[in-house]
Amino acid sequence: MEIIKLKGLDENIYYITSKKGLPIYIWKNEYAKSFYLSLNVKYGSIHTEFMIKNKKYKVPNGIAHFMEHIKFNVDKDTTANDLFDPLGSDINAFTTFRYTSYLVYGTGKVKENLDNLLDYVYNPYFTKDIIKKEKGIIASEINMGKDQPFNTLYTEFNKALYQKDKFKYLITGEIEDIKNIDLEDIELVYEAFYHPKNMFLVVTGNVNPYEIEQIVNKNLDSKDIKEYLNPEIIKIKEPKGVVKKVVNINKEVEVAKAKIGLKIERKVFKNIEKIKLSIILGIILASNFGDTSDLKEELLEEGIVTYINASRTIQDDYVIIDVTIESKYIEEAIKRIVDALNNLKIDEEELKRKINSSIAALVGNYESCESVNDLLQSYIIMYGDVIPNVKEVYEDITLDDVLKVMGLINTKEMVVVKMDKES
Amino acid sequence: MEYKKYEYPSFNIYTVKTNRFKTCHLEITFRSLVDKNSFVKTFLVDLMTDCSKKYKTRKEVVKKLEELYQANFYGVTNKIGKTLMSSFVLSFLNPNYTEDKNYLEEVIGLPFEMIMNPFIKAEEFDIKNFNIVKNRIHDEILAINEDINRVSIKNALNNLEGDTPSKTSIIGTLEDLELVSPKTLNEAYKDLLNNNLCDIFVIGNLDMDKVANIIFKKFKNPVVKTKKDQLYVENIMPKKVKKITEQSKFLETNLVNIYNITGLTKKEKTITFYFYNYLFGGGGLNTKLYQLLREKNSLCYGIKSLYLKYDNLLMVETSVDKKDVKKANSLIKQAFKEMKEGKFSDEELESAKANFIFSLNLAQDNPAGIINNYVFHVLDDLPLVEDRIKMVKDITREEIVLVAKKVKPMISYVLEGEQNGNN
């Protein structure tokens, strides 16, 4: 078992790969009453085209999420709930663009919980009836999402941003997509991706790491785990430009909303490592659009916006920056945001404060089993592994680093998506 | 965990000393009766956390919080039956993780600085900050109409009989908002300090004697406790069940049913009915409602029941296709009937107990959860979690059937969407 020391945080992550190839990450917190297990599949909504042994496959959009739903069925009369309810544990699952996660929260009987989790996720019980039944439920979920204006804004933003990339589709798929999902598709996805070598387990809480390793090995040894098919996701070459620079959505919203985004090629930022780039971009956005920014203060004082939030996403080939607003004066608000994106600024004092406060937040994060589990999941998905030196990365950031990144942010490929009644 | 009470003439400090967390949590609660002007308090609390004489804008407050190792400070107003609780909440890093010797005094001092020295000049709150908060609340009020769940719950509650606090909105309406001025807020501020009951709750690995001394030094609250909290609302039963259907712009159709719960004993209110609700629709994925509507009939993505303890109400809410409303209502009725007849297996009962205990334990894994339990322990004599767990274990089938018979239907509200049969 490898012990990854998180430098400066006085925390350790235990890491081992099980005999059957499942990577296991464990954070031990002896004060916690609960534990949190997540069994994660590196298969999300964007992975709909792939190759296995030189053969190309294409499955319907929304299939990763659909799989997450029907995976809860253990056999004709049993669902995953039936396994966990007697243990007094709670279960859940979610699907993102990049991965699917099966979760268990419990306060006791960690062995039984972990065994159940492995048993039901590695149990390929799929039938036509189950697939049929789930379609109605998912259709309802899709409609519920469409009833939420911010969801629609986000979806339309992605459609305007990406020409070919699968990020332009809903994670759930559209109702038409899920109508096309059949038993064969589900079995194919399960066989290709639900393999220990394409998954990882994160355990956080008051657990013994060595016991966890033993439970996993014993459990997986008893299963007939087939050879890993090693599917290769077909990489889509996303063109440089956006699809549409301006999108107007006519929707019966009470307060107009907009998303202003930039699509910047990743290579523009050259050799800056991903985690450092992500942190620097986060600081730049917080300083220019967050609570301590002059812009937010001005826009609030002038009554131009009532809500503003900025975020960044680093994809393989692109960096996406987006600012979301709500405003009664949406055109003026958009203009001001665009101006600000063209004139980003930061000073030494602001940078130091942001770095110090971020480090404090990082320290405080390591008290909750849930937040540490989430954090480890995102590190593994976004950066491929646990980052042991995040604190050092923060501490090493200089004003020159930030100014350099800021100088590389360009607004050539900008998208403005506006949603209001009169659009 | 070590619980302790510090009594002062005008407030008590309730502390929980524990070494389980890296962060600490402090809540200052003010309590008054809910009335038609409760929305003014919501506005006031919002404004008081945005600025003070010393920190004149939200930007300055947030900068200070960042300097205090990313402390978090916010206000929240809650309705607990007849009582309006206005709370100022501070969470902060344990001083052991900081290098600043005066950190504890400085960070604890911040909320009292904000409360005791608000940005008031000539008996009026600062107009700039006033307008920012007013705009924000204005949009929050409008945003309710963008959320199908909030619209349907608000509309359903508005059909309760008489002038009950259960239907009072603590955010108010746009017309209410126009009645608020910097001057009326000054009056509300005086009322908060002079007439509201006040208590303070602290949790963390801190020297609580020292904490109490700091608070006593910083907080000169003039109210001497003579009043008692009034919590429970008795809602009037309508002569017959009110059935209301309204149209909406949403895709989905929302169903909100409200039930009166009469004649519960103290123990039933505190434990048995919570558990009944857990088994019926408030718990995980094996509840009666979830099983009947989602698992067996695929009618909805989710369905839940909510026990509004202090309003003596039970609410059932779900989102379905328009064509399925009748069937959904019929299945909800069936679920109630089965509860009254004690139609749940011993396994279901034991599983629900284990789950319920798990959810109680889970709340013990974060500082805010422990404080929340402690607040209700103080206000309403709610047994501490450890005692509630023991009580849950003893609940019998007969006790559940007994409370099931005390649930009476009052309102069946349908907010009809546009989608029909496209699933």
Q: Which pLDDT tens digit goes with each residue over B342-373?
A: 999 888 888 888 888 888 888 888 899 999 99
Mind listing the pLDDT tens digit of every residue in chain A (423 residues)? Answer: 999 999 999 999 999 999 999 999 999 999 998 999 999 999 999 999 999 999 999 999 999 999 999 999 999 989 998 899 889 899 999 999 999 999 999 988 999 999 999 999 999 999 999 999 899 889 989 988 988 999 999 999 999 999 999 999 999 999 999 999 999 999 999 999 999 999 999 999 999 999 999 999 999 999 999 999 999 999 999 999 999 999 999 988 999 999 999 999 999 998 899 999 999 999 999 999 999 999 999 999 999 999 999 999 999 899 999 999 999 999 999 999 999 999 999 999 999 999 999 999 999 999 999 999 999 999 999 999 999 999 999 999 999 999 999 999 999 999 999 999 865
The rounded distance, in Å, linking the Cα atoms of A396 and A279 is 11
Same domain? B24 vs B111 = yes
Number of domains in chain B: 2
Q: Per the CB < 8 Å rule, is B366 touching A368?
A: yes
Amino acid (one-letter) located at A77: D
Any idea which residue has 């590196």 for tokens?
Answer: A42
User: What's the number of CA atoms in the CB half-sphere (13 Å) around residue B136?
Assistant: 17
**Residue A238 in domain:** no
Distance between terminal CA atoms of chain A?
A: 58
What pLDDT does residue B225 have? 66
Q: What confidence tier does B283 reach under pLDDT thresholds 50, 70, 90? A: confident
- The mean per-residue pLDDT over the stretch B94-109 comes to 93
- Distance between CA atoms of B214 and B105, rounded to whole angstroms? 6
Mean pLDDT of B84-110: 95
What pLDDT sits at residue A421? Answer: 87
CB < 8 Å from A in window 64-83 of B: 65-67, 69-70
Structural domain boundaries enclosing A94? 2-233
Is the separation of the CB atoms in A30 and A206 below 8 Å?
yes
Cβ proximity of B391 and B265 under 8 Å? no
Considering only CB atoms, which chain B residues are within 8 Å of A292?
Answer: 59, 62-63, 66
Nearest chain A residue to B419 by CA distance is: A143
Say how far apart CA A198 and CA B148 lie, in whole Å: 39
Residues of chain A with Cβ-Cβ distance to B354 below 8 Å are 85-88
For residues A401 and A342, membership in a common domain is answered with yes
ipTM of the complex as predicted? 0.90
- The CATH number of residue A390's host domain is 3.30.830.10
**In terms of pLDDT, which residue wins out, B249 or B34?**
B34
Most A CBs within 10 A among B91, B97, B298, hence the mutation to make, goes to B298
Cα separation, A193 vs A228, in Å, equals 8
Total number of domains in chain A: 2
What's the rounded Cα separation, in Å, for the pair A110 and A36? 9
Q: Is B10 helix (H, G, I), strand (E, B) or coil?
A: coil
A86: nearest Cα among B101, B24, B358, B338 = B358
- How large is the average pLDDT for residues B164-169? 95
Beta strand A307-314 with A318-327 is antiparallel
Q: Does residue A157 sit in the same domain as residue A133?
A: yes
Residue B423 is predicted with a pLDDT of: 38
Q: Judge: A175–B139 Cβ closer than 8 Å, yes or no.
A: no
Residues of A in contact with B139 (CB under 8 A): 254-255, 306-307, 326, 328
Instruction: Tokens for A22, please give them.
Output: 């499942």
Three-class HEC string of B195-219: HCEEEEEEEECCCHHHHHHHHHHHC
Q: Quick count: other Cβ atoms within 10 Å of Cβ A404?
A: 14
Q: How confident is the model at residue B422 (pLDDT cuts 50, 70, 90)?
A: very low
Q: What does the pLDDT read at residue A422?
A: 65
Higher pLDDT among residues A275 and B386, named by residue: A275
Question: What one-character-per-residue DSSP string does A344-370 give?
Answer: ----HHHHHHHHHHHHHHHHHHTT-HH
Query: Which residues constitute the domain of residue B352?
Result: 242-416
Judge contact between B86 and B196, C-beta under 8 A: yes
Distance CA A67, CA A120 (A): 13
Answer yes or no: do A257 and A330 share one domain.
yes
| CATH code of the domain containing B355 | 3.30.830.10
Share of chain B above pLDDT 70, in %: 98
Using a CB-CB distance cutoff of 8 angstroms, which residues of chain A are in contact with residue B148? 144, 147
Q: Is the pLDDT reported for residue B126 higher than 80?
A: yes
For chain A, say whether B174 makes contact (Cβ under 8 Å).
no
Instruction: Assess contact for A139 and B422: CB atoms under 8 A.
Output: yes
The dihedral through the CA atoms of B47, B52, B53, B55 has a sign that is negative
Beta strands in B220-299 (DSSP E): 242-247, 253-261
CB of B423 less than 8 A from some CB of A: yes
A84 with A179, same domain: the answer is: yes
Domain co-membership, B259 together with B408: yes
> B266 — phi, psi (to 5°)?
-55, -45
Residue B224 lies in a domain: no
B420 band by pLDDT with thresholds 50, 70 and 90: low
B231 lies in a domain? no
Nearest chain A residue to B253, by CA: A144
Q: What's the pLDDT tens digit per position in B322-343?
A: 999 999 999 999 999 999 999 9
Same domain, A12 and A60: yes
CA distance B1 to B384: 12
Whether residues B115 and B249 fall in one domain:
no
Between residues 187 and 216 of chain A, which touch chain B (CB distance below 8 Å)?
none
CA dihedral B36, B41, B46, B52 (to 10 degrees): 150
Whether A50 and A192 map to the same domain: the answer is yes
Q: Are residues A200 and A276 in the same domain?
A: no
Residue A301 lies in a domain: yes
Q: Which residues contact A175 (CB under 8 A, 6 or more apart)?
A: A139, A142, A143, B422, B423
Chain-wide mean pLDDT for chain B? 93
Tens digits of residue pLDDT in B249-282? 888 899 999 999 989 999 999 999 999 999 999 9
Helix ranges (DSSP H) in B254-383: 266-267, 273-277, 288-289, 325-340, 346-362, 367-380
pTM of the model: 0.92
Block residue for tokens 């709500």? A326
Answer yes or no: do B210 and B252 share one domain. Answer: no
List the single residue in B250, B298, B422 with the smallest CB-CB distance to A147: B250
Does B407 lie in the same domain as B278? yes
B229 is a domain residue: no
